[in-house]
Amino acid sequence: MKLYKKIIEAQCEQADVKTDLIIIHGLFGMSDNWISIGKQLSEERRVIIPDLRNHGRSPHSEEFSVDIMVEDIIELMDHLNSPKAIILGHSMGGRVGMRLALLHQNRVKKIIVADMSMRPPKLRAEHWLIFQTMKDAPIEKMKSYKEIESFLRKHITSQRLVLFILKNISKTNGVYSWKLNFKTLINSFEKEISPLVKNEVYDGPALFIRGGKSDYILDEDIDKINEHFPLTILETIDGAGHWLHADKPKDFIHLVKSFL
């Protein structure tokens, strides 16, 4: 599948000798969410930020699983002549990145996982709230973003979530629609975002970053991570939640740059 992608070219003269960095967003996300971070990481290397299938401006498909998204990334790497990359994945993107590293070690130089463990996936209350709100919102009949925003605020109290959802709206010929293929995601997520590993081990450098206020990586998850990523460095950003790159961007950038 030909994924939509943003590419931020490195700013240094020797950029062509540096390994590409591919940033993989999470559920409901898109490449636009990572442009600011990507620019700050593009000083020495090309940064590639795709929209996963059924997200952003990439095509919609009834097929959706971690392994399928891994193959999408491999296809993208081949298309962009990127034989080996550094992978940075957040949340669901972290699951895709881990699976990519475990299945295709020769294509991954290093991996950075932002706030995602290896536990089986489970949709949370906020995920169901977003899905239900999208399902109920008659955006194709609405006349403005302001009207859509007003509808969202009646159902969702979090300002961050409202703004996050608004990014998933497009307008064509005066008609609003969802960029996100939420129907397939609802039907497929927990069934198809399957356990990550059997006996696979990735023996390259790995950085796992968790938010101090998040429960996506718990202390009891660390042994499992180390079992399959034995060269793991684990860092915690105090005061950050699950969207740690947005909550504490300077701390996040510092950890990533130090690892790179």
The per-residue pLDDT for range 177-186, each reduced to its tens digit, is 999 998 888 8
Catalytic residue numbers, as ranges: 91, 242
CA dihedral 56, 89, 184, 67 (to 10 degrees): 130
* Lowest mean per-residue pLDDT among 36-40, 139-143, 234-238: 139-143
Question: Which pLDDT band holds residue 15 (cuts at 50, 70, 90)?
Answer: very low
Closest C-alpha among 31, 1, 195 to residue 99 = 195
Res. 19 pLDDT band, cuts 50 70 90? very high
Q: Under a CB-based contact definition with an 8 Å cutoff, are residues 86 and 260 in contact?
A: yes
Token duo for residue 146:
């302001």
pLDDT at 14 over 60: no
For residue 100, how many C-alpha atoms fall within 13 Å in the half-sphere facing its CB?
33
Q: What is the pLDDT of residues 195-226, one digit of tens each?
A: 566 789 999 999 999 999 999 999 999 999 99
Q: Could you read off the pLDDT of 91-126 as tens digits, one per residue? A: 999 999 999 999 999 999 999 999 999 988 777 888
d(CA 117, CA 139): 35
pLDDT of the residue at 185 = 86
Spatial contact of 67 and 99, defined as CB atoms under 8 Å apart: yes
- The rounded percent of the chain whose pLDDT value lies above 90 is 68
Residue 119 to residues 92, 145, 160, 217, Cα–Cα distance (Å): 12, 37, 26, 9
Q: What is the predicted pLDDT for the residue at 130?
A: 86
Mean predicted confidence (pLDDT) in 238-258:
96
User: What mean pLDDT do residues 23-51 have?
Assistant: 95
186 CB neighbour count, 10 Å cutoff: 16
Q: What is the pTM of this model?
A: 0.92
- Mean pLDDT comparison of 125-129, 173-177, 236-240, highest-scoring range: 236-240
List the domains of the chain with CATH numbers. 5-121+194-259 (3.40.50.1820), 125-186 (no CATH)
